[in-house]
Amino acid sequence: MKLPNIKILEEHNKLLRMTSKEATFPLSNQELRLIDDMITYLTMSQIKETQQKYNLRAGWGLSAVQVGLLKRIFVIVEEVEPGSFKNYIVINPKILSHSEEKIYVGEGEGCLSVNRFTEGIVPRYARITVSAFDIDGNPYTLRVREDVAIAFQHEIDHLNGILFIDRIDKKNPFKGKDTMREI
């Protein structure tokens, strides 16, 4: 597996604060290549050997805006068992519904565009139902939960110009912790 030549934008880049535009079908060759590259990068970042070889931070998700394309596209790569990955390609997503229950990542949420430790919790819904399109423009609906739901919400935020650090209460970084479930 060869490391793709993509550059992940850092948090100070103004593009990350912009709202991404709807993708149109058929996707361009550039968009298709970018989706493949994001999936390859995320997969390699979760495999110990390639992570160490290329000095990669582990990541689950990337949105197109993080690699410089202002389109409503993101990918999630979930390791379902050691060495086995499930890829989600999500285009023009909309959250249709969500649970009342809120959760947060105990060790803190991270982001490939935020290269620093950030203390605090990011409240997220435990379950969400999303409508989106696949790579060929076919509509689908998907219900995701727990870690995958957090990843989806994190990436949808990117498409709306929001970073996870914006969701941490500046005055009280652990505000509401006792009303949510840690995962």
Q: Tell me how far apart the alpha carbons of residues 158 and 176 are, in angstroms, rounded to a whole number.
A: 23
Contact 42, 79 (CB under 8 A): no
Q: Tell me how far apart the alpha carbons of residues 30 and 4 are, in angstroms, rounded to a whole number.
A: 13
What angle (nearest 5°) sits at the alpha carbon of residue 32, between those of residues 82 and 153? Answer: 60
Between strands 124-125 and 127-133, the pairing is unpaired
Per annotation, catalytic residue among 10, 22, 101, 155: 155
| Residue of 151, 111, 106 whose CA lies nearest to 128 | 151
CA–CA distances in Å: residue 12 to residues 27, 66, 148, 163: 29, 11, 26, 11
Cis check: omega of the bond before 123, within 30 degrees of 0: no
**Secondary element (H or E) of residue 155:** helix 146-159
**Is 155 a known active-site residue?**
yes
Active site residues: 155
